[in-house]
């Protein structure tokens, strides 16, 4: 006699396992199985909930498929809105926002027309549900325009965002300074306005804890290390590095750790750079742990890792020992010993390919200009 498990029991089991696991690949696998069961048994509301969780877990092209499914179901049956909790809807809109600025724009095969269409759809939906949208709209436009290399328009969006944010706080009598507002302001000040002084002031506020929440924590100060070094603020760059390095290692934020690796390479701290790469940064080549499934994040990660290997080349190093993650694309000469020139060649090829794809989509040379700038830094130090 074959016993068939009640689908609701299996759904509860999968959801519990997905909530408990900290491994991203396993979480995505469990949620995909959960989605298959809900679809098979036409459990639409549960299918929406599972896909909302998948948005947070995957954060890649699969997220766009999940979003399309969710809104197709909601548009076919408006009564479904009444069966989704307010918290569930807020999560859905939050992840829709993240998918636009952290997924869609970061895949060069997704056209600019598609990106702006996603934004228009998002804004129409949150307006229809009565959400405040003006501040958020300017912020998203500013992020997208920056990533697309349209800095003149991004500057206009920045000033519009600041004005709308000020008016909203005045209207709602909000005096606090929120960390995400500071993060947006500081990023924009050095990326769009080229004002490192203001970015430094804001980054210091976050680093010193003079804010009302702790979402960004040390990520922004780490993001500022390289711009501070580039503009000649050498003492501040070193201070920001020292004050953030342990946090990033503890949290295993490989993308951010690559910024620190690049900084160490440029400041001739090769022993520390070697330790950081072999013990921590190399794990970022794992597609489930690092930024490998996000082309824009992968470009940035490789760009900073290449600084380290260019520096090894300049020092005459021929090989490097490290334990590669399972998905590392190159083979060692002998056990765990890799050829430095081979790694540099592979990084160069991969970066040029990514830069070409992005610049073709964006219709400018933003990515190639970054390639050239970072390559020149090594030979100038």
Give pLDDT, residue 176: 59
Mean pLDDT value across residues 360-370: 97
| Cα 365 to Cα 147: distance, rounded to the nearest angstrom | 12
Q: Provide the 3-class DSSP secondary structure of residue 337.
A: strand
| Cα 200 to Cα 380: distance, rounded to the nearest angstrom | 24
| Cα 381 to Cα 24: distance, rounded to the nearest angstrom | 39
Q: What percent of the chain has pLDDT over 70?
A: 91
Q: For residue range 325-342, what is the model confidence (pLDDT) as tens digits?
A: 888 889 998 899 999 999
Give pLDDT, residue 173: 62
Inter-residue contact 147 to 296 (CB < 8 Å): yes
Give pLDDT, residue 286: 80
| Cα 262 to Cα 268: distance, rounded to the nearest angstrom | 10
User: How many CB atoms are closer than 10 A to CB 280?
Assistant: 19
Helices 219-230 & 254-266 angle (0-180, nearest 10) = 30
| Cα 126 to Cα 116: distance, rounded to the nearest angstrom | 16
Tell me: pLDDT of 315 over 60. yes
Q: Which residue from 122, 119, 111 is spatially nearest to 143, judged by alpha carbons? A: 119
Q: Which has more confidence, 249 or 163? A: 163
Mean pLDDT value across residues 358-370: 97
Tell me: pLDDT of 313 over 90. yes
pTM of the model: 0.89
Tell me: pLDDT of 1 over 50. no
Average pLDDT, the chain: 88
Residue 334 gets which letter from DSSP? B
């Amino acid at each position: 006699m074959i016993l068939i498990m009640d689908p609701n029991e299996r759904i509860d089991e999968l959801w519990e396992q997905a909530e408990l696991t900290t491994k991203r690949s396993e979480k995505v696998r469990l949620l995909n199985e959960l989605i298959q069961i809900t679809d098979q048994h036409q459990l639409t509301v549960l299918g929406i909930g599972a896909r909302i969780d998948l948005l947070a877990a995957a954060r890649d092209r699969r997220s766009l498929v999940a979003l399309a499914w969710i809104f197709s179901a909601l548009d076919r049956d408006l009564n479904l809105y009444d069966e989704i909790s307010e918290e569930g809807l807020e999560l859905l809109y939050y992840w829709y926002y993240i998918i636009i600025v952290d997924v869609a724009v970061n895949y060069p095969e997704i056209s600019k027309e598609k990106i702006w269409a996603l934004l228009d759809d998002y804004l129409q939906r949150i307006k229809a549900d009565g959400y405040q949208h003006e501040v958020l709209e300017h912020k998203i436009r500013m992020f997208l325009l920056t990533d697309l290399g349209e800095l003149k328009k991004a500057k206009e969006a920045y000033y519009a965002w600041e004005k709308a944010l000020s008016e909203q706080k005045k209207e709602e009598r909000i005096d606090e300074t929120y960390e995400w507002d500071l993060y947006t302001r500081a990023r924009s000040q050095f990326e769009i306005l080229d004002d490192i002084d203001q970015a430094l002031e804001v980054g210091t506020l976050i680093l010193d804890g003079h804010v009302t929440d702790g979402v960004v924590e040390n990520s922004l100060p780490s993001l500022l290390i390289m711009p501070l070094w580039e503009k000649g603020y050498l003492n501040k760059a070193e201070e920001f590095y020292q004050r953030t390095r342990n946090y990033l290692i503890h949290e295993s934020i490989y993308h951010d750790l690559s910024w620190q690796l690049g900084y160490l390479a440029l400041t001739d701290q090769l022993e520390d750079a070697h330790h950081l790469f072999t013990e921590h940064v190399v794990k970022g080549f794992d597609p489930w742990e690092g930024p490998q499934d996000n082309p824009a994040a992968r470009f940035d990660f490789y760009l900073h890792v290449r600084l380290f290997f260019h520096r090894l080349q300049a020092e005459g190093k021929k090989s490097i020992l490290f334990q590669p993650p399972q998905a590392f694309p190159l083979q060692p000469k002998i056990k765990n010993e890799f050829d430095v020139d081979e790694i540099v060649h592979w990084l160069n090829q991969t970066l040029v390919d990514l830069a070409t794809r992005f610049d073709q989509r964006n219709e400018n040379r933003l990515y190639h200009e970054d390639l050239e700038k970072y390559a020149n830094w090594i030979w100038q130090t």
